[in-house]
Structure 1
């Protein structure tokens, strides 16, 4: 924080006595050049773009595995505690990745664990083996999979995890919006984004609408917010789903209604 020096002068016995004090200078923090907002259940929170992208992938894998929203909440609480949604290549002993899984505990090879799709699938597979995990407190279910030193620590993240799960699973529509410095954006790779969507969700955008789809949420909207969260990485300038469009050029203004309408249940990436 910057410091402002304040000097006061007093006349004392014909002389001049100076008093100098140091006071904090309040300087407005610059607006972030990259960020995402997540709005659901009457709450709005901010995430780093990387955090939002990883959260969207953790949710997307739940669709591929037909996991319920409860499972996503447990996964989110776990990742908040373990890595804060950054895919880090270090941790306690040989722990790695979003979930801080350890190769020595047979979670996989290091390069596998660093793949967010692989590590998320491994977590959900472990959760499936926990009897009655949906009826357990979130922290108990997380601890049953992770076997960490302080299992109760997961409890502090439940509230935010529920908000995020509702936003990223598509049940609240265009609930995620991101903005970033255009100079940081990758070259346009719509095909790459569509391929990764299929790897994450187990379905391609061209498969929409999906009737009798996974119980996780609304897969079309979930794909749309995944694309927005990954727009910087794939050089996407706009994401359109139904009559709603997110445009990178609008900054933090979010989604808007498409003036000329759009085809229902169609996801368009540009």
Structure 2
């Protein structure tokens, strides 16, 4: 065979070997890559959250959301509103602000209920006060004839007069769970945990003063004979204190024979060792 032909033949042999080798490497690499399982990244554990249990259902919500929900419920006690009114208020707030007291909204809307100063709901600083805003909502709801007999979204729309009143309907089920949890009828149905460094300085007196402003009754006056129709006021105050513990630096809340401790984290409530049921609310 001529030298030139031998060189060409050798070249193609080498090329064939390289082609086969690269193919094997690529195939092996493809197999190795495709055989790898996707990395499973664990979701970080929430450092601050609240668990609410009502109507045999449980949900987790943010601490700020729980604190505002407890206040919306508490104001209903001060006005002797029924649980149905709280459900309507909750469905409204879920749709309007998701229980975050926001300082903005459509046009001049503000706060939990997205009320507008230009529509005579009050001055901006008043609307941003959760107690004032909630009281205003309930006072308007009172004026709606037979609101308890109406679908929740229709009652909410009668007060809010929003662009899409049916949107409130999607929040009814969760709102009923929350109303049962916060109205006290199910006892220690709200538990919260938070990072100690995020809590305020201990202010038991401030917490008691706000409880009286929200509920219209001083916690030191418990038990209350013939309490409001909203629910069990003692337990409702207790879960309000738990939901607002971070803002007032509370480390424990005791009512009856149950005690919530911030240090317990997610475990929350436990039975008081002496087991004595007392109709007093103790904050520390």
Q: Tell me which interval the TM-score lies in, with the shorter structure as reference length.
A: over 0.9
Equivalent-residue separation in structure 2 for 1:12 and 1:171 (angstroms):
77
Equivalent-residue separation in structure 2 for 1:266 and 1:221 (angstroms):
10
* Deviation, structure 1 residue 210: 0.5
Which residue of 1 is the match for residue 9 of structure 2? none
Aligned with 2:211 (options 186, 189, 197) = 197
* Deviation, structure 1 residue 262: 4.2
SS at match of 2:217: coil
Structure ranking higher in helix proportion: 2
Aligned with 1:14 (options 21, 45, 55) = 21
Bigger radius of gyration among the two: 2
Alignment of 1:101-140 (within 5 A): 101-140=115-154
Equivalent-residue separation in structure 1 for 2:74 and 2:255 (angstroms):
17
Which residue of 2 is the match for residue 6 of structure 1? none
SS at match of 1:214: coil
Equivalent-residue separation in structure 1 for 2:73 and 2:127 (angstroms):
17
Structure 1, residues 36-69: CA drift from partner, whole Å, max 9, x if none? 0001111000010000000000000000010000
Q: Does 1:88 align with 2:95?
A: no
Which residue of 1 is the match for residue 93 of structure 2? 79
Q: Which deviates more, 23-32 or 219-228? A: 23-32
Structure 1 residues 24 and 99: alpha-carbon distance in aligned structure 2, compared to 1, 3 A threshold: farther
SS at match of 1:61: helix
Equivalent-residue separation in structure 1 for 2:39 and 2:161 (angstroms):
47
Q: Which deviates more, 210-219 or 12-21? A: 12-21
Equivalent-residue separation in structure 2 for 1:194 and 1:232 (angstroms):
14
Which residue of 2 is the match for residue 45 of structure 1? 59
Which residue of 2 is the match for residue 269 of structure 1? 283
Equivalent-residue separation in structure 2 for 1:257 and 1:43 (angstroms):
22
* Deviation, structure 1 residue 261: 3.2
* Deviation, structure 1 residue 85: 0.4
* Deviation, structure 1 residue 264: 1.5
Q: Does 1:241 align with 2:255?
A: yes
Which residue of 1 is the match for residue 187 of structure 2? 173
Aligned with 1:256 (options 270, 274, 279) = 270
Equivalent-residue separation in structure 1 for 2:91 and 2:225 (angstroms):
30
Which residue of 2 is the match for residue 4 of structure 1? none
TM-score normalised to structure 2 length? 0.89
Structure 1, residues 147-179: CA drift from partner, whole Å, max 9, x if none? 000000000000000010000000000000000
Structure 1 residue ranges without an equivalent (≥5): 1-10
SS at match of 2:191: strand
Structure 1 residues 144 and 135: alpha-carbon distance in aligned structure 2, compared to 1, 3 A threshold: same
Q: Does 1:31 align with 2:38?
A: no
Equivalent-residue separation in structure 1 for 2:176 and 2:93 (angstroms):
13
SS at match of 2:126: helix
Which residue of 2 is the match for residue 186 of structure 1? 200
